[in-house]
Structure 1
Amino acid sequence: MKENNSTAENSRPNQHSNHTHSHTKSRKRRRRSSSSGRPSGHVIFVIVFSIILVVTIVRLFLWNRGRQSDYDPNETTTEFDVEVMDYLQPLDPEMLEGHEDDGVTTVLALGNDLLSDDRSDTGLAALMEKSANATILNAAFPGSSISMKHQEFDNSYPLDGVSLYWVAAALLNQNFDLMDVIVPQMNSEAAAQALETLKSVDLSKVDDLVILYDLQDYRDDRTVYDEANDKNLTTVYGALTATIKLFQEQCPHIRIYLLSQPYGTFTDANGKTIDIDRDDLGNGTMVDYLNWEVEACRKNGVSFIDNYYGAITMEDTDCLTDGYHLNQKGREKIAERFGKVFKQ
């Protein structure tokens, strides 16, 4: 019996050992089976790299091929982006020392047809008065220009005597002898009224000076700038500079504004319609004139209000008559913009 028990007892560990060994082999098989179902790191890398490579090739192919665009190089469009060239220069407070403020904002306006065409209550000067809440003295001479045609006054061209600098000099020197001869010859009621206004100006009460001319200098193909003489009165830049300096020296309390020419077109002597934005008559397009006008303002510390891009552009032909003269809508548009800028 003991031997049997011993034999039985000795056989139990063997059974347990066999069971353990079998269980271990089973777990190894499961691990191998589990490992064989999961891709290795190298396989994953190859898959990801292949996907990236395929996507890159496809995108490169599409980029090289391009895509259909709606752009038509032959299309004519009137839409354009522009930047208004306003330049506002405040008056140095030192320039007001000794000047008495009478409480009324008085503006002297020098220029030509834009202001002189209509001197009524619906004219540009009157509209600017309302828009700026100021009193405007309209001393604009029809047919005049910023620059002179001749270096010195010549009786053969009397309009030089009412060009910008000569008007300023007559006013500041209080000498109207030449104008008393010229203006009656112009046979213009507007010119006579301008001279009358000019003679009545009290410069001590003038707070601001406005300079506003139309396309006259461009139409006459006047020189824009003289490198040898920046005060050459036969150039636009020179006449502006000389006039500004004259006012700054004798009436430093007056703040000066140059208002640019609005857009316009006209027909030349050969019947060709001139687009001032593109046609160079010999001294540049109107844009070249504008750039030198801005430069004169910056150089001399006065303000520039841009009507060319800011008020009457090539999109606003409904504001013009005869190509470049203002109609009522055009006057209202320029007056409105002037008032907004002037009040800043």
Structure 2
Amino acid sequence: MEENREFENNELENNDLEKKFNTRVIVHIILIALVVAFFAYIGIRLYRWNKGKVDDTDVSVINHEFDVEVMDYILPMDPKLLEGREDDGVTRIVFLGNNPLDKARWDDSSICRLVQKELTDSGEHAEVYNCSVGESLVASINETYANNVPIDAFGFYWVSAAIATSDYSNMDDAYSHMGYENTGMVETIDTLKNLDFETVDVIAIMYDGNDFRCDRPLDDGEDINIQYYTGAMEAGLQTIQAAYPHIRIMVLSPTYEYGVDETGQYINADLKKNYFGSLSTYVQKESDTCYENSVSYIDNYYGTVNEINAKEYLEDNQQLNEEGRKLVAKRFVECLNKYKNK
């Protein structure tokens, strides 16, 4: 009997062990199945995410309501800087810059003449002077003026220095070393010589993307270096401000322009880069420089002729057509008058 009982007890113990083992196996199988299912789910999700889905959006339709952040920074003239000065009733505006202003300079469709017309049509007595030089740069090529690079004399800093000192001898010397005749350049030199900047109300500055296209260095980071785009801009602005604090300075950014690839096809501006960045990088740095020097900034790159409407307002990949020049002139006058009578 005792042997039978011992046998039965052993059998019960074995059955209990077998049940526990089977239970553990089942639990492990369930856990493994859950883990496999989890990773399978993650794998499917990743596959679908990588694969993406068909986008049937019609990209040929331009959304004219597309939002861009315009970097306008328009300041009124500080009344303290005008104390003791009499208003003679004439708004005198001098434009400095390069190609956009030089384009069609003797035609009624030039930016300067369009600005003159906008102001005159509104009943304002205005005089607008075009002192631009085509193909000139903001950044100087040489550290100091030398006639082996005569175009430097017509860059922004050296023009600003000439205005501040009323000394245009570098321009005369540079023109004699240009090696060709340029009636626009001659007109600019003569106009500057005959202007009394004590009577000037506004200096407007507009350079296109020529510094970007010519790979001029962008930013020295610390020092004001006129061989750099931002350094020359800052030095020129400060030179004018020191000499003629009563003059309101307004900088107009370059407009949008297409890049051109190796096959001659137009491409998005941000796909065309030099060592220092894209044209939009130069625009941003110019904006920052104006902000830091309390100078009004009109953002043409995003706010006037931009990626959305460039085909309508450019005659090639970079030059403004007549409608583009009208748009720039109109927006300049709007910004000029923003704080009028306030």
Instruction: Please give the TM-score of this superposition, normalised by the length of structure 2.
Output: 0.75
* Corresponding residue to 1:157 among 140, 149, 155: 149
Distance 1:336 1:77, change over 3 A: same
How big is the shift at 1:100? 2.3
Aligned to 2:74: 88
Q: Give 1:257's match in structure 2, choosing from 243, 250, 253.
A: 250
User: Is contact 1:212–1:261 with CA below 8 Å preserved after alignment?
Assistant: yes
- For 1:260-299, list aligned pairs within 5 A: 260-265=253-258, 267=260, 273=266, 275-299=268-292
Deviations 1:63-82 (A, max 9, x none): x99xxx98458957754421
Structure label with greater radius of gyration = 1
Q: Does 1:178 align with 2:170?
A: yes
**Match in the other structure for 2:18:** none
State the shift of 1:266 in Å. 5.1
User: Aligned residues, how many?
Assistant: 279
Give the corresponding residue for 2:220: 226
5+ unaligned residues in a row in structure 1: which ranges?
1-63
The answer to whether 1:319 aligns with 2:305 is no
Do structure 1's residue 237 and structure 2's residue 223 form an aligned pair?
Answer: no
Quick one: distance in 2 between partners of 1:109 and 1:282? 30
Answer whether contact 1:132 1:340 (CA < 8 A) is retained: no
CA-CA distance at 1:318 after TM superposition: 2.5
Check the 8 A contact 1:257/1:302 in 2, yes or no: yes
Task: Give TM-score scaled by structure 1 length.
Answer: 0.75
SS at match of 2:193: helix
* 1:130 counterpart residue number: 117
Is the 2:133–2:185 Cα contact (8 Å) retained in structure 1? yes
1:277 is displaced (CA, Å) by: 2.8
Q: Within 5 A, what are the aligned runs for 1:52-201? A: 71-72=55-56, 78-79=62-63, 80-120=66-106, 121-133=108-120, 134-184=126-176, 185=178, 186-201=180-195
Q: Work out whether 1:209 is the aligned partner of 2:203.
A: yes
Q: 1:325 to 1:75 in 2, by over 3 A?
A: closer
Deviations 1:85-110 (A, max 9, x none): 11011221111122222111111110
Please give the alpha-carbon distance, in whole angstroms, between the structure 2 residues aligned to 1:275 and 1:161.
Answer: 33
Counterpart CA distance in 1 for 2:229 and 2:110 is: 26
Taking only aligned residues, the RMSD between alpha carbons, in angstroms, comes to: 2.6
The code of the aligned residue for 2:306 comes to T
Aligned partner of residue 281 in structure 1, secondary structure: coil
What percentage of residue pairs aligned between the two structures are identical?
A: 35
1:333 Cα offset (Å): 1.0
Gaps of 5+ in 2: 1-44, 121-125
Deviation per residue, 1:102-124 (Å, 9 max, x gap): 11111111001111121222211
